[in-house]
């Protein structure tokens, strides 16, 4: 089944949706699909988890966020250094923080 891309398209005065493949899903079809799903639910143990967002930096999917404030001149200098090295500000801050903690 495709993803729904257009909502609330009127088909003979009936609320309907259109999938990315162009199939029209009416209220009647949606009700039938819901009934089929309730009668024969999928086996979730066979499903593969899909992760969204940025990949984790740590083991077991953990990478807590650290946030702190800096003076404007340090922020500007850090951005300039990151740009010069072709890196993100986050990457530069991670390296600096790691070096500080390792010393």
pLDDT digits (tens, 9 = 90+) for 31-77: 999 999 999 998 988 988 877 777 888 777 778 888 999 999 999 99
Q: Is the pLDDT of residue 22 over 90?
A: no
Q: Which helix (H) or strand (E) element contains residue 25?
A: strand 24-26
What are the residue ranges spanned by the domains of the chain?
A: 4-42, 67-102
**Portion of the chain with pLDDT greater than 70, in percent:** 86
For position 56, what pLDDT does the model report?
82
Nearest CA among 37, 103, 97 for reference residue 63: 97
What does pTM read for this prediction?
A: 0.47
């Amino acid at each position: 089944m495709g993803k729904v891309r257009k909502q609330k398209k009127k088909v003979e005065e009936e609320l309907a949706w259109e999938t990315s493949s162009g199939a029209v899903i009416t209220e009647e079809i949606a009700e039938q699909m819901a009934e089929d799903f309730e009668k024969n639910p999928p086996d979730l143990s066979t499903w593969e988890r899909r992760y969204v967002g940025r990949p984790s930096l740590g083991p077991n999917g953990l990478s807590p966020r650290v946030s702190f404030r800096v003076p404007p001149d340090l922020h500007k200098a850090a951005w300039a250094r990151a740009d010069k090295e072709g890196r993100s500000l986050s990457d530069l801050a991670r390296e600096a923080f790691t070096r500080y903690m390792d010393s």
